[in-house]
């Protein structure tokens, strides 16, 4: 009896030793989403402030550096909106981020502009369409009349075609039920506004806009990278991006799921390997900037790696791992039969995830920069309530972290078995 109790106690202790420290995870996510980081974007240099915090975390964990610093600096052009954009049909203004967003490739603008409506007739009557395509729209905004185009296919077709502004309008107003803010490194010649389709006022003759942009050339940003020397110089590479969308005027995009959750995972795994005995593989940990503006940081690191990419046995990239009640996805895994079958075998009997999907290649996150260089790179992402994607409502309180501990346990076990 006593022996059984002892074994029970030991297994609890060893389980606790292995279990993820969820207080640490929550602390990191809350910290990164707090106001002092301005959404880890470009307004008020939020990404740089976050880098400073994360560099200290790397140091606390005790990671080694490839150079004098954990930083790997590079520059990019970036367009940012430090002032709140204003938009309205005729005189009635809409609410930024909730009713509309301005795509940050837009130039500055201030004034009233005539609206040209694209109706069903515009698209289906050849004569009208031909005129519409050849007319001069350079002082007008074009907008799709969503009530007239009550055919969703036609509406989507028009939205796709006219969102690119092939007709050289002053600006384009797109209807979009999910307003997804983003980050852009270039300015277009026209203004691009996305608005909730139900708020499109078909009766309006004009729009009022005031957008003040601030285009910064050669904005300095940085990746953060460190490592733990293993018995072998073969590398297991763990990464995720720490940047997010920053601010649109006064509105902050905290990016709890995208990707404070992934940063916490990278730090948690780094912390695990820093505490045990020397790992089998050399473990490299990287936090990328510039992901939301187009995988900038990971591309820079893939072009200028501080370690030999050919030594990387596998890379795990974590981007949006704060849910999981809708399953866990390991993108790219199917590209590598050995990795894919190990993942699937390990999860037999739902040992880690009730729902696990492995897929072929995607290019939607930082793993892609390394995948394109021939590195075996897997992108781990959780599904669940992802309706807050690129919204100001992507906040820590709403993350259930359903699969978080299982992913942590899985990666550590995977590296042991690999």
260 contact partners, CB below 8 Å, separation of at least 6: 28, 29, 32, 33, 242, 244, 254, 322, 396
Return the number of the residue (271 or 319) whose C-beta is nearest Zn ion: 319
Return the number of the residue (55 or 319) whose C-beta is nearest Zn ion: 319
Cα-based distances in Å from 44 to 47, 50, 126, 217, 357: 9, 11, 50, 15, 39
Residue 247 CB, nearest approach to Zn ion (Å): 17
Residue 255 CB, nearest approach to Zn ion (Å): 8
DSSP character string of 347-409 = TGGGSS-SSEEE-S---SSTHHHHHTTT--EEEEEE-S--TTTTSTT--GGG---TTHHHHHH
Helix (H) / strand (E) element for 288: namely: strand 282-288
Return the number of the residue (118 or 296) whose C-beta is nearest Zn ion: 296
Neighbour tally for 273: CB within 10 Å:
24
Q: Which two tokens stand for residue 258?
A: 């995208």
Give 133: exposed, middle or buried? Use CB within 10 Å, 0-12, 13-18, 19+: exposed
Residue 163 CB, nearest approach to Zn ion (Å): 22
Return the number of the residue (271 or 366) whose C-beta is nearest Zn ion: 366
Return the number of the residue (47 or 258) whose C-beta is nearest Zn ion: 258
Cα-based distances in Å from 73 to 2, 65, 222, 304: 58, 14, 4, 11
Helix residue spans in 245-290 (DSSP H): 261-275
Residue 256 CB, nearest approach to Zn ion (Å): 11
Residue 248 CB, nearest approach to Zn ion (Å): 17
Residue 319 CB, nearest approach to Zn ion (Å): 4
Return the number of the residue (261 or 347) whose C-beta is nearest Zn ion: 261
Q: Give 70's DSSP letter.
A: S
Identify whether the C-beta of residue 265 lies closer than 8 Å to the C-beta of residue 323: no
Return the number of the residue (319 or 406) whose C-beta is nearest Zn ion: 319
Q: Which residues are at the interface with Zn ion (CB under 5 A)? A: 258-259, 319
Identify whether the C-beta of residue 154 lies closer than 8 Å to the C-beta of residue 129: no
Residue 240 CB, nearest approach to Zn ion (Å): 8
């Amino acid at each position: 009896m006593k022996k059984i109790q002892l074994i029970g106690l030991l297994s609890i202790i060893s389980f606790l030793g292995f279990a993820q420290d969820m207080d640490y995870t929550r602390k990191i996510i809350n910290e990164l989403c707090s106001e002092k980081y301005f959404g880890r974007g470009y307004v008020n240099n939020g990404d740089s402030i976050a880098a400073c915090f994360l560099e200290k975390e790397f140091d606390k964990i005790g990671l080694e550096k490839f150079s004098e610093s954990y930083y790997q600096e590079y520059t990019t052009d970036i367009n940012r909106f430090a002032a709140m954009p204003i938009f309205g049909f005729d005189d009635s203004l809409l609410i930024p981020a909730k009713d509309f967003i301005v795509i940050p490739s837009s130039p500055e603008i201030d004034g009233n502009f005539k609206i040209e409506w694209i109706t069903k007739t515009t698209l289906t009557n050849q004569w009208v369409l031909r005129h519409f395509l050849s007319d001069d729209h350079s002082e007008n905004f074009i907008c799709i009349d969503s009530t007239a185009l009550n055919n969703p296919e036609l509406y989507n077709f028009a939205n796709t075609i006219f969102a690119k502004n092939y007709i050289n309008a002053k600006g384009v107003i797109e209807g979009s039920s999910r307003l997804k803010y983003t980050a852009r490194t270039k300015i277009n010649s026209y203004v691009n506004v996305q608005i909730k389709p139900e708020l499109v006022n078909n009766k309006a003759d004009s729009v009022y806009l005031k957008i003040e942009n601030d285009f910064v050339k050669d904005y300095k940003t940085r990746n953060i990278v460190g490592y733990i020397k293993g018995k072998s110089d073969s590398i297991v590479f763990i990464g995720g991006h720490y940047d997010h969308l920053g601010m649109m005027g006064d509105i902050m995009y905290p990016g709890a799921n995208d990707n404070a959750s992934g940063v916490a995972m990278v730090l948690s795994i780094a912390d695990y390997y820093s505490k045990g005995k020397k790992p089998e593989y050399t473990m490299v940990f990287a936090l990328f900037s510039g992901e939301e503006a187009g995988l900038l940081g990971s591309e820079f690191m893939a072009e200028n790696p501080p370690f030999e990419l050919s030594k990387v046995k596998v890379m795990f990239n974590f981007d949006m791992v704060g849910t999981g009640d809708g399953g866990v996805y390991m993108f790219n895994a199917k590209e590598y039969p050995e990795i894919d079958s190990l993942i699937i075998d390990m999860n037999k009997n739902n040992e880690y995830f009730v729902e696990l999907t492995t897929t072929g290649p995607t290019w939607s996150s930082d793993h892609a920069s390394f995948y394109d260089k021939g590195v075996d790179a897997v992108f781990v992402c959780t599904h669940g309530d992802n309706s807050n994607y690129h919204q100001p409502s992507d906040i820590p309180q709403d993350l259930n972290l359903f699969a978080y501990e299982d992913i942590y346990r899985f990666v550590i076990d995977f590296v042991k078995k690999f």
